[in-house]
Every structure is written in C-alpha cells, then in structure tokens.
Structure 1
Amino acid sequence: MPDMNRSAIIAEPPPRPTVPGASPAEVDRWLHAWENRFTLGRSPSTVALAYLDWAAHAANAPFQTAELARSAVGQWRRLLRIALGQEDKVAPPASDHRFAAPAWQQHPFDLLTQAVLLGEAWWNDVVDNPAGVNPRHRRIVRFTVRQWLDMVSPSNVPWLNPEVIEAAQASNGRNFVDGLINLLHDQSGTTRGDFAAGRNLAVTPGKVVFRNALIELIQYAPATATVAPEPVLIVPAWIMKYYILDLSPGNSMIRWLVAQGYTVFAISWRNPTEAMHNTSLDDYRAKGVMAALDAIRAICGEAKVHATGYCLGGTLTAITAATMARDGDDRLASLSLFAAQTDFTEAGELQLFITEDQLSFLADVTETQGFLSSAQMGSAFQMLQSNELVWSRAVRRYLLGQREHPFDLMAWNVDGTRLPARMHIEYLRRLYLRNELAEGRFEVDGRPLALEDIHLPIFLVGTEQDHIAPWRSVYKLHLFTAAELTFALASGGHNAGIVSEPGHPHRHFRLRTDSGRHTLGPDEWLAATRPQDGSWWTAWADWLKKRSSAPAEPPPMGAPGYLPLCDAPGTYVLED
C-alpha cells in the first residue's frame, strides 16, 4: 500500500495548460485535473450529493433533528457525571490508540478524552438520523465526518496532547526539531533507507527469460536437486512492484518456495508511463498472464502450472482461469489466490466512492496525466485508516520526533507504481462498480465467462485485518464455484498477513477445505474453524505437494526463443 508521505499535492504533475482551439470537454478535463490536486482524487459532486441527500432528509424530519439537540445536552450531563465520579468512563474502541498513553488518563486530559469520545458518539448519532437517506450516501457522509473528526482530534494539537507536552519538557523542545527533520526527510522521498531491489531486496537468484512491453518474466534458479514438475507462476498486483513476495531473504515467499522444491516463475510488471495510457485491462491478461504461460510451456514442456495471484493480480488470475476453462485450455494444475476478490459488492470502504460520477472525474484526471500516480493511489488507501496511518503517524514522527527505522516492507511500500489511465478506469468500472465478474457479465474476446467453469482445486487466502480486500469479500468465491476450495484465514493485514513466513512470531491462521457447493456463511465458517499457530505458508506448501507429481530434474533456465536476458530482478522493477 503506497505511503502518503509523498504528498499528492506536491508530487502531482500540473495539468496541461489550455491551448487555443481546445474543446469544452478538454477544458473541463483540465479543470478536473486541477481540482484533483486539492480533493485527493475525490469528485466534489459525489460528496456534495451525499450531503445534499442527508441534509434534505434532516430538514424534512424536524422532530428527529430537534431530538439531536436534546441528545447533545445529555452527553454534556454525562460528561459532568463522569467528572464527578458518578458514572464510569467511556472506553475507546479497541482499534483507537490515540489515548492509550498513561498521560491521557491524568487530569485534566482524562476529561478531554471523555469529551472527545462522547462528542464523536453524538456525531455518529447525527449521521445515522434521519431515516430514508440513500445507504451509500449515508456511508459517504459517515466516512467524511469520521475523516473530519480524526483531523480535529486534540491528539493532533501539540498544546492539547500530554505526550507531546511531556516530550517537549523532557527534551527542551528537541522533539520539534527532530520532527522537522523527519518531515524534510519524508518529503525528500528517501524513506527507503538502505533497502533497494537487486541489492538486499528481490535477490533470489534467477533470470529474466521473457520481456514484452508490459512484463518481464523471471525464472528462479532451483535450490534443490529435484523439483516438482509442475511450476508455480506468481501473478502479483501491478499497483505496486512485484517484490512484496521477494523481500529480504528471510521473509521472501519466492525464495522459500524455491527451497521447498518448486520451479517458480514471477511476473514483474512494467511501471507505466504516459505512452501506455491506452493499455487495457485485457492487455494485462493477454500480454501478461497468457504470455507468461506461453513462455512457461516452452521452458517446462507439457507440465501444468500452479497459477498463483496476489491482490488485483489474483483477480486477474481468476479471470484468466475462467477464460481458459471456457476455451478448453487445460494448462493449469491449480489456482491459488491471496487477498483477491472476485465479488465486489462488499469490497470495504474503498468502494464508497466508486460511483459513475467519481469514475467520470477520475477518468478526466488520468486522461490528462496518462496514468494514475502512486501518490494518488496512496491517498485513497490512507483515507481508509486515516486515524492510524495519517494522524497518529504524523504525531509520532512530527510532534514527538520519533524516528522509524526503515525495514524491507516499509521500503517496498514507498516504491510505488503508476496505473495506465484506460486500465485503471476499466477495472474500477467493470469490477467495483458493475461487479461484472461475479454476475457473469464480464466478457473476454466478446464472450462472457463464468467463475463456475473453474473446476481446478483452489487455495484461497484472506487476512483478518484487511481493509483493501476484506476477508468476507474474498470468501465469497465459495458462492461461485463448486470446485474443491481450501480457505485460509491468516492473522495480519493485506500485506503483513501475506508476508507471514514460518517462524514469524505471533502468527496464526484458520484452514478448512470444502468440496462442492458451500453452505456456511463467513461468520459460521469462522465459528466452526479453530485457529492454528504458525504460518499458513506451510499449509499451502503441503496443499501444492498433494497436487504435484513426483519430483524430477529441474527444467533448463530458459529455452529457444526464451533465452535468459539478464539476472533477476530484471529492469522493469528498477523503473521509477
């Protein structure tokens, strides 16, 4: 997930200036690109329409609205009783760490904390009233109100935050100097520290054996005398660079998988430039996954492939598998999907702003630039957890002056990529907005495909704290296939839950295999499945082994027409 330290306002290229003879549509497009510099990718009309809907219903329910004033008085009375010790204090939600420090429990900051929590509870009541508001509009209002409340929290104000006051007294203000240094360091874009792909990240030995305008295909060198004949193809998301699965040697999934006796191939996507603005979603399938499968067939012969996709790369892998099943292409041995959605009706808060109006606005922005930048993508992800990822982090770094020591996942996190304009809008419109894949309306080569055509064994992974691909949304694949499906629910979030190598402390997962139509809902599944300590990687390796043939000699590195071009990690991953 991209880091918001590289400010979208600073990092964005300015919109192209108007020129004589420009059409009204072009001028509006440039206007929207200029607006985007201040709205961080959100359409002003999307938010405005949501508030108008809410305000109109509030105005037409005067008695419910008047009751909110009475409720506000009740909250002040409750605060007074808490101050007098006549009522227990309000506890913040478990996910809210703003007031966890002991200093917040000392007078008068304890009363300030209680006032904030009671005030936020009142605002939640305001948003939830009155009845009749469009559910999506109400969720947008709730989301934006929460963003505002997070921003104005006293924990963000130096003279109201006891932690900052104590730090300033103890260091004679040195914390503010350190905070300024941290801010300048972040704005310089050097937060990767000493980590770099090809130096101490993405260093698993291998060769680039194929390159086209969109991908480099890396074949990794064997680490065992014999390997399973069926190779593993890893299809990562293209919203970030592929080496999330090949970080440091100690937590590289690719290195670990090679050590288990598998021939591993990985796609490294190109970082798009403006010249690739017309690259389509289907180009990623045809010139990406299918081109990689053709190369693997040339190198490994008739052996079938364990197709493995992560995040959006998993969605693309599912689309590819369904297309191959429809067309009678039997080159796949199994399908593994990590934090990948195939139904987007419950895709979390990211889906709130995926409306036709929003996509029209984004289309103008990306068409002007030719791509969606990593800073713009990062701002969208940061909004989902602004309290923790933006404000609390800003307090730690810029007010308390605390320094974070870079580590491999952090370095990867700021190594962002761009998204081609056409592809970005197509996947948002076709998958998030219209949900074409789950509803059987997604077409490839002019013909629809169906997930139920996939009869391969499936290993599906969700993570407990995923805000990008919520696990209950990932779980919905159970509804669209009668294939044997093994679902693993891992501890952690969208990234850390996947990078969960054996030996990593405090990791656990749940695992269950079902064949045929599944009847348990996600919460029933959760109640019926016990957690296991350790990494889900070992369970996945056992699963792959049962679906692979007896070990044999490794295939050659490359083949005629697919001779090695350079060492891993290749050249595309190094493009800024």
Structure 2
Amino acid sequence: MTNSPESPNNQPKPEAVLQQMSEVAQQTQRVLEAFWKQQAEESASGGFSVSDTSSINTAFLDWSTKLMQDPGKLMESQFQFWQEQMNVWQSFATRAAGGESQTAVQPEPGDRRFKDPAWSEDVVCDYLKQSYLVSAKWLQGMANEADDLDPKEQERVDFYTRQFISAVSPSNFALTNPAALKKAKETGGQSLVDGLKHMLGDLEKGRGKLKISMTDEAAFEVGKNVATTPGQVVYQNDLMQLIQYTPTTEKVFKKPLLLVPPWINKFYILDLQPKNSFIKHAVDQGHTVFIVSWVNPDESLAHKSFDDYMMDGPLAALEAIKQATGEESVNMLGFCIGGILVSSTLAYLAANGQAKRVTSATFLTSLFDFKETGEVSVFIDDEQVAQIEKHVSEKGYLEGSHMANMFSMMRENDLIWSFVVSNYLLGREPMAFDLLYWNGDSTRLPATMLLFYLKEVYQQNLLREPGGISMAGTPIDLRLIKTPTYFLAAKDDHIAPWQSCYPGSQLLSGKNRFVLAASGHIAGVVNPPAANKYGHWTNSKLPEDSTEWLEHADWHEGSWWTDWYAWLARRSGTQVAARTPGSGKLKPIEDAPGSYVRVRVSD
C-alpha cells in the first residue's frame, strides 16, 4: 500500500485524508454487512467456536471458589504483588528524578514484545513494561494457587489466564507502544490509517470475523514458487492423489519411499522451497519418493471414515507403487496424524499376514499415547466435542479456520499479537513468508473421520490398547508391529509434546530408534543440513522414562536428516536404475503438485 501524498510538514493533504476516510467508510459498510450475514447463517446452523465459553466459565468459577477457601494465602499473594509493584514505582520515581535505578523485573528470554530500545530507555515505557510484567507474573501465579482443582480445569485456567495476560500487554495498544507512537508521528498519522485499512481488510476477508493476514498471500502460488519439486500424479481416488517425483540421480535405492503427511494442512510443508524441501532432499539422496496429497474435503465426503483414510490412503498407495515400480514393499514415513495412520496401517497389515509390505517406518512428531497431550487438551473435552459433533453433523466437515485458530492460540504472542502490532499499530504490509502462507492454506476435516479421531483415539486413548480400535474390521494392536521404526520428536513441540511422543517407542515391538530434534513441530522437522541450525539428541537405549532417555542422550550439532538417511539407507536395498514417473504400469495423470492440493477452503 502506498502512502498518500504529504504536505511539507509531513501531514497528509486534506483531500487525501477525505479520500481515505471515504474508502474506510465504504469498507466498514461491507464488513458490517458480511458480519450480520454470517451471524444469521451461524445462528441458523448453531454456530461453533474453538473456545467453549461454558467450560471456560465453569473452570474459572471452580478456581475462584477453591481460591477463596484459603483467604490467608490470597492475602499473602496480594501483599507480595503490591510490594513488587512498589519496587517498580520506586525504580520509576528514581529514574524520573534523574537518578540511576536497578530494573525490578525483566522480560523472559525470547520475549520479543519489548525488544524496541524505547521500552528500556524511556522512563514511562520502562515503567509500563515492568508494571505489566509484575502483574502478569502475579496473575499466572494466582492461576496456580487454588488447591484440589481438577487437573483438566487447572489446565484450562492456566491457558486462558495466559491468553488474557498476552492480550492486555501494553505492546498491543497504540497509545502505550512506543514504536507505534513514533511511526505515527513520523508519518503524520498515516501508519494508523493504513493499520485501520488492514484491519478492515482482514475483517472483510473473514466476513465480519477478524482473519489476521500473516503473510502476503499474493506472493505465492502452489506449483509456481512453493511445492515445485518436479514429479507426476500417477494415481488418484476420492481421498488422495499419489505423486511420484522425478529422480535426480542415475541410480536409486531399490525400496521406494512413501510419505504420508497429515491431512490437517497440506503436504507441501515438506516441499516449501528447493533449499528446505524435505522431498527434494530425499530425491537427491537417491530415493524413489512418493507422497500422498490429500483432498481438501467438502460436505460430499462427510461419510469418509478413518478406515477410508487407511484404505484409500497408504494401502491404495502401496498397490499403486507396486504397479509403478514392481516393488512389493516400501519404506513408509508418517508425519503427525499421518503417523497415527501409518501405525494403524502397519498393525492392520501385521494382523492380516502382510507385515513385509513395509520394510521400515518413520514417525515424525506422532502421538500414539494420548494420556498427556499438552495444551491441545484445553480445546478437546466432552462439552467441546459435543459442540463439534453437532456442528459437523449439520455441516459435514469442520472448517479449517477452527484448527488454525486453535494452533494460533497455543502460540498467541507469535501468531496473533505480533501481527496485530505489525499490521494494525504500525501499518505495515504483511511480509512474504512461505511457511506462513502454508499455515494459512488450511484444510477441512470430514465429519465421520474427525469424530472417530476425537472420541476414540484422542479422548479414550484407545489406539494404545490392544484391540481398542478396529480398522476395516481388523482389531488394531500396535504390539504386532515388528517393523524397524525411527521416531522423531521435537523438544519445543507445542502440538505433540516430545515426552508424549516417546511412549510410541515402547508400544511397538520392532527395533526402534528414538531421536529428539531441537526446536518445534515444524522447524524441528524441516531442518535441512545446509542450514546448519538446530541440532538433535540420540540415545541407542530406550528406557521406559523419557527423562532418563534425555539424561543419557548424546547431543549432535546439525540436522537429524543425516542420521535418518544413514538409518534409512541400511533398509533401502541395493542400487537400481532410476525410475521415471510413467515408466511403469501407471501413466501420469498431471504434473506435480497436482490439483487436489490447489483447492483452498475459500473455493
């Protein structure tokens, strides 16, 4: 967006201001019309929110009741709070009088909200920052003060207390953010006008609900500058397209490699740019790579079950790969929920005497034991699952926006408030960032599959129980899996906590290897060796306790990819002539990345 013409004193010309205000008024009218239309639609269909206010209210009511049962502890906490606030005030008064004063409290390492020098150099800004940090510490501490609170309610109280604390940060308001005030002064207020336009644009995009723009979506196009590794779609059905990638080496390993990504978001997180493409790197290492590209389902696929995802996903892919390459068995990799599907598939094959169809299995940030799931559990309880069930039974699917909102709230300062400040307070245009483009390219989830996953796999934790669930009429027992497996978890993963991923290595009966990557759910996985960024831990022994595993693990600089490639090479067979898509019995349907991945939720 270009700024309007300015007068010599850095103030916008009156005619430009009138023109912009007219544009703002028209945009506001469109936003209001979209909002009321959406409200009417949601009212008619029984609207659903990712945050269930009834369960939140119940949790905070129980918390306050428990807290009031010990007035002595409450008074002690309040006294300590006022004492710390007095220390902040004294520090401010000393600095305001021209003296030197020790800072009472500092932000946590990595807190980027207060990185602007003015937060420390300006006396008033420093006071606001310190007073906020003391209050935040006190509030979060109070959230943990109540005795005998139900653990699930305690998690909810902790989580939503943090959401409130993050929301009221002085960095989020124009009048208390020094960078916003400075920018407004430098631009004669144009930055605030631009910010208002950005906010109205996001409201318009969300049809009355704020859909924060995290990146310049016009800067990317699937198949043009993301998901560009050459290949062909060689098979497709209602749920997926199977892509075979073009080899870059004269010789390849005999065993093909099948990647099964999650169907929450799209597969091209593994193929963003050539420099960080997991897919391209695997091809360059001499693997014949296939990947499942899941459909973005609509109401016509509401009946598709977890069974269907297995039958039409990895099992259908195995048959197609056999036709394309002549190989009976493959190495298989599952990412996140794709790993859950791969484990179920392995157990299904083992129970039906076909275990040898998969030579090795790799699981990336995949949970098999849902006893401890971290903050995700805040969004999945009986009340909220009942709401989801009602919603998807009428709609046929869960909209992608609900999953996106949930994941954003789990990293609210990075994925919500930082963009509020940049887009609205500073009036900046969103930057072009491939990862955030992918993050915003969300997917729907079909009703039948979703409810099975939420109830039986997530809530009841039946996947880990022998025969707890059945797939296509076959009881699933993970203990039957004797396939060599490679488990990769990420230390700072907020979606699949690594301590909760670790039990998977105890459930399967084969020769298992567990590796822990530094960083989070995405950065820990998509970490090419050339980037020389995050390291990893290894330990050849697998004690029952994850803490003990880490205590005796060895730290390695650099990407886990090199460790995995060495492990995978030993299970990939001899070298054979490279296989070109279409050279087998399956003929190309269309160029990679195919048409399924191009369908956006707005289409």
- AA aligned to 2:247 is P
Give 1:355 deviation, angstroms: 1.0
Q: 2:492 aligns with which of 465, 476, 487?
A: 465
Output the amino acid matched with 1:566: E
Letter in 2 for 1:96: D
> Residue in 1 aligned with 2:234?
209
Secondary structure of the structure 2 residue equivalent to 1:531:
strand
Aligned equivalent of 2:70, options 39, 61, 68? 61
1:481 to 488, 491, 508: 508
What displacement does 1:211 show? 1.0
- State the match for 1:165 in structure 2: 181
AA aligned opposite 1:166: K
**Structure 2 residue 123 is matched with structure 1 residue 107:** yes
Matched, 1:175 2:199: no
Corresponding residue to 2:260 among 227, 235, 248: 235
Judge which range, 94-103 or 345-354, deviates more: 94-103
| Equivalent pair of 2:256/2:572 in contact (CA under 8 Å) | no
The question of whether the paired residues in 2 share the 8 Å contact of 1:15 and 1:369 is answered with no
Counterpart contact for 1:484–1:513, Cα < 8 Å:
no
The residue correspondences of 1:133-144 to structure 2 (distance < 5 A) are 133-144=149-160
The one-character-per-residue Cα deviations of 1:461-510 (angstroms, maximum 9, x if unpaired) are: 11232111122222221221342222222233212222212211423222
Alpha carbons of structure 1 residues 238 and 170: separation in structure 2 relative to 1, 3 Å = same
Aligned 8 A contact 1:305 1:333 in 2: yes
Distance in 1 between the 2:57 and 2:465 partners? 30
- The Cα RMSD (Å) is 2.6
SS in 1 for 2:575: coil
> Contact between 1:462 and 1:471, CA under 8 Å: does it hold in 2?
yes
1:520-539 per-residue CA deviation (whole Å, 9 max, x = no partner) reads 63333333233322222222
Higher RCO (C-alpha under 8 Å, 6+ residues apart) = 1
Q: Counterpart of 2:244?
A: 219
> Which of the numbers 131, 141, 159 marks the counterpart of 1:125?
141
- Which residue is equivalent to 1:326? 351
The change in CA–CA distance for 1:194 and 1:388 in structure 2 (over 3 A counts) is closer
1:47 aligns with 2:74: no
The answer (yes or no) to whether the contact 2:339–2:364 under 8 Å persists in 1 is: yes
Is the partner of 1:165 in helix, strand or coil?
helix
- Tell me the residue number matched to 2:274: 249
Match of 1:519 among 512, 525, 543: 543
- Kindly provide the amino acid, as one letter, of the partner of residue 456 in structure 2: R
Match status 1:497 vs 2:532:
no
Residue-by-residue CA offset, 1:51-77 (whole Å, 9 max, x unaligned)? 232233234334434444434433333
Rounded Cα–Cα distance in structure 2 between residues aligned with 1:212 and 1:11: 37
Partner of 2:596: 572
Which residue matches 2:79?
70
User: For residues 549 and 13 of structure 1, do their structure 2 counterparts lie closer, same or farther at Cα, with a shift above 3 Å needed?
Assistant: farther
Q: Counterpart amino acid of 2:511?
A: E
Query: Which residue number corresponds to residue 401 of structure 1?
Result: 427
Map 1:303-382 to 2 at 5 A.
Answer: 303-329=328-354, 330-382=356-408
Q: Distance in 2 between matches of 1:32 and 1:471?
A: 42
Q: Provide the residue aligned with 1:97 in structure 2.
A: 112
Taking a change above 3 Å as real, the CA distance of residues 62 and 363 of structure 1, as seen in their structure-2 partners, is: same
Match of 1:3 in 2: none
SS at match of 2:437: helix
Query: What corresponds to 2:208 in structure 1?
Result: none
The answer (yes or no) to whether the contact 1:487–1:511 under 8 Å persists in 2 is yes
Are the aligned partners of 2:246 and 2:580 in contact in 1 as well (CA < 8 Å)?
no
Q: 1:533 aligns with which of 557, 560, 585?
A: 557
Specify the structure having the higher radius of gyration (Cα).
Answer: 2
For residues 162-221 of structure 1, the C-alpha deviation after alignment (integer angstroms, 9 at most, x for no partner) is: 221222223332322443454456565783233211212222222211111111111112
- Report the alpha carbon displacement of residue 558 of structure 1 after superposing the two structures with TM: 4.4
Partner of 2:479: 452
Give the distance between the partners of 1:555 and 1:67, measured in 2 at CA: 72
Helix, strand or coil for the counterpart of 2:247? coil
**Distance in 2 (alpha carbons) for counterparts of 1:286 and 1:422:** 15
TM-score normalised by L of structure 2: 0.85
How many residues are paired up?
A: 551
Q: Of the candidates 373, 381, 384, which is equivalent to residue 410 of structure 2?
A: 384
More divergent stretch after superposition (131-140 vs 532-541): 532-541
Query: What amino acid does structure 1 have at the position aligned with 2:561?
Result: W
Does structure 1 residue 426 correspond to structure 2 residue 452? yes
Aligned to 1:546: 570
Equivalent of 2:304 in 272, 279, 289: 279
Cα–Cα, structure 1 residues 313 and 15, in superposed 2: closer, same or farther, change >3 Å? Answer: farther
The question of whether the paired residues in 2 share the 8 Å contact of 1:75 and 1:122 is answered with: no
Structure 1 Cα separation of the partners of residues 36 and 362 of structure 2: 36
SS at 1:513 equivalent: coil
Structure 1 segments unaligned to the other structure (5+ residues): 1-6, 18-29
Secondary structure of the residue that 1:328 maps to in structure 2? coil
What is the match of residue 172 of structure 2?
A: 156
Distance 1:489 1:277 in 2: 37
- 1:401 is displaced (CA, Å) by 2.6
Query: Match of 1:49, as an amino acid?
Result: T
Deviations 1:517-564 (CA, angstroms, capped at 9, x unpaired)? x21633333332333222222221111111121101234634787332
Letter in 2 for 1:392: S
Q: CA deviation at 1:304?
A: 1.7
Give the TM-score, by structure 1 length: 0.89
Asked whether the 8 Å contact 2:276–2:528 carries over to 1, the reply is: yes
- The CA distance in 2 between the partners of 1:294 and 1:143, in whole Å, is 45
Q: CA deviation at 1:265?
A: 0.7
Is the Cα–Cα contact under 8 Å of residues 505 and 514 in structure 2 kept in the other structure?
no
Q: Please give the per-residue CA displacement for 1:403-439, whole angstroms capped at 9, x wherever unaligned.
A: 4431322222221111112212221222221111123
Task: Report the alpha carbon displacement of residue 384 of structure 1 after superposing the two structures with TM.
Answer: 0.5
After TM superposition, give the deviation of residue 313 of structure 1 in Å.
0.8
Q: Which moved more, 1:448-457 or 1:177-186?
A: 177-186
Structure 1 CA distance, aligned partners of 2:67 and 2:321? Answer: 61
Give me the whole-angstrom Cα distance separating, in 1, the residues matched to 2:556 and 2:399. 40
Q: Check whether the contact 2:325–2:584 (CA below 8 A) recurs between aligned residues.
A: no
C-alpha distance in structure 2 between counterparts of 1:243 and 1:174, whole Å: 38
